[in-house]
């Protein structure tokens, strides 16, 4: 009887050792060190980076020619959050919220006030895209090993397509010249805001840091245009498109 118990214990030790060896081999191949007891049911990514507005519509051309502004004045820091739900080894559904805002001070290039002082104003561009879509992983984010362990890959590239809405505001405050009323100077607060249909495409890379954590970087182009309010009557729809480059941490939820 004692020998029987000894053989059972020995078999259990061998099985446990084989399981550990299999997991360690998977770690060295895919992501180690470490693994999760089961595949993550969701991933949350917090990102920060740089967003450059394309600024190609005539309201931007008018502003940069009349005021001491340039296209780089419409670039801004961008903050974003992604919530993703895996739907297979290569696919996950992703919901994203980003925000970028920049205020730039300026003055007329060729005009001054009757007191000889600059005619100054400030321009603010706000863009907040709210997007939903799919992310395709060109390499799986991880592998299931046996019935319990999930081992993250060392790295995994992806592409994504999303659509949604963008809240935006284009605002100019300060002093302006009324060229149709004897070049008189007046104080104004001009703004246009609302929601615009939006489409986005991105490519990026996830690098594993630990079983529960990864570093994600991405470049994304967002397309959006929207008619301006009556404060900017006569102008074409504002171009809200642009390119952003962000990086952040992905937290795997179990």
Mean pLDDT of 247-251: 97
SS3 string, 135-183, reads: EEECCCCEEEECCCEEEECCEEEEEEEEEEEEEEEEEEEEEEEECCCCC
Does 231 have pLDDT greater than 70?
A: yes
- Residue at token pair 């321009």: 123
Instruction: Specify which residues 143 forms β-bridges with.
Output: 151
**CATH classification of the domain holding 155:** 2.40.160.20
Residue 144: band (very low, low, confident or very high) from pLDDT cuts 50, 70, 90:
confident
* Mean pLDDT value across residues 168-176: 96
- Residues above pLDDT 90, as percent of the chain: 69
Question: How many structural domains compose the chain?
Answer: 1
Query: CA–CA separation, 160 vs 199, rounded Å?
Result: 11
pLDDT digits (tens, 9 = 90+) for 194-216: 999 999 999 999 999 988 899 99
Integer Cα distance of 13 and 43 in angstroms? 35
pLDDT digits (tens, 9 = 90+) for 99-129: 999 999 999 999 888 888 999 999 999 999 9
Is residue 7 over pLDDT 90? no
* Model pLDDT, residue 194: 97
- pLDDT higher than threshold 70 for residue 9: no
Per residue in 20-54, pLDDT (tens digit) is 334 334 444 444 446 555 677 899 999 999 999 99
Residue 184 has pLDDT above 50, yes or no: yes
- Residue found under tokens 């100054």: 120
Domain that holds residue 127: 2-253
Q: Is the peptide bond before 33 cis (omega within 30 degrees of 0)?
A: yes
User: What per-residue confidence (pLDDT) applies to 125?
Assistant: 98
């Amino acid at each position: 009887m004692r020998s029987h118990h000894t053989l059972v214990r020995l078999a259990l030790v061998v099985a446990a050792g084989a399981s550990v060896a299999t997991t360690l081999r998977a770690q060295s191949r895919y992501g180690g060190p470490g693994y999760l007891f089961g595949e993550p049911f969701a991933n949350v990514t917090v990102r920060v980076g740089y967003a450059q507005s394309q600024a190609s519509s005539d309201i931007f051309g008018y502003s940069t020619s009349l005021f001491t502004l340039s296209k780089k004045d419409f670039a801004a820091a961008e903050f974003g959050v992604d919530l993703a739900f895996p739907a297979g080894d290569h696919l996950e559904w992703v919901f994203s919220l980003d925000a970028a805002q920049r205020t730039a001070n300026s003055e007329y290039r060729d005009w001054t006030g009757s007191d000889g002082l600059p005619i100054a104003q400030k321009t603010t561009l706000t863009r907040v895209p709210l997007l939903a879509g799919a992310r395709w992983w060109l390499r799986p984010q991880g592998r299931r090993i046996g019935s319990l362990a999930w081992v993250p890959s060392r790295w995994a590239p992806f592409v994504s397509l999303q659509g949604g809405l963008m809240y935006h505001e284009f605002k100019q405050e300060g002093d302006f010249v009324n060229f149709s009323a004897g070049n008189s100077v007046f104080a104004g607060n001009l703004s246009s805001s609302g929601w615009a249909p939006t489409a986005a495409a991105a490519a990026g890379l996830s690098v594993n840091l630990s079983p529960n954590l990864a570093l994600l970087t991405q470049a994304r182009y967002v397309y959006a245009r929207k008619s301006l309010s009556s404060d900017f009557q006569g102008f074409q729809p504002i171009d809200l498109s642009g390119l952003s480059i962000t990086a952040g941490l992905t937290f795997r939820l179990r």
